Copies of this chain bind each other. A is one copy, B any other.
Amino acid sequence: MSLLVVGSIALDSIFTPFGETADALGGSAVYFSVAGSLLHPVQVVGVVGNDYPVAELERLASRGIDWSGVERADGESFRWKGKYSYDLQSRETLETRLGVFADFQPKLPDAFRSAKFLFLGNIDPELQLGVLSQVTQPTLVVCDTMNYWIQSKKAALLELLARVDVLMVNDGEARELSGDWNIHRAGRWILAHGPKRVVIKQGEHGALLIEPTRTFYVPAYPLETVFDPTGAGDAFAGGFMAYLARTGIVSDEHIRRAMVVGATMGSYAVEQFGIRGFDPVTLADVGRRVRAFEDLTHVSLAETLA
Contact = CB atoms under 8 A, between A and B. Distances in A.
B222 A215 contact: yes
Nearest to A204: B183
A286 B204 CA distance: 29
Contacts of A219: 206, 217, 219
A86 B181 contact: yes
B305 A261 contact: yes
Given A188-B224, A216-B299, A222-B215, A286 B305 contact: yes
B184 A296 contact: no
Interface in A25-39: 39
Interface in A159-213: 181-185, 188, 202, 204-206
Taking the full assembly, how many copies of this chain does it contain? 2
Contacts of A185: 224
Contacts of A214: 295
A256 interface: yes
B305 A184 contact: no
A182 B222 CA distance: 10
A260 to B, nearest CB: 6
B216 A257 contact: no
A182 B226 contact: yes
A206 B299 CA distance: 15
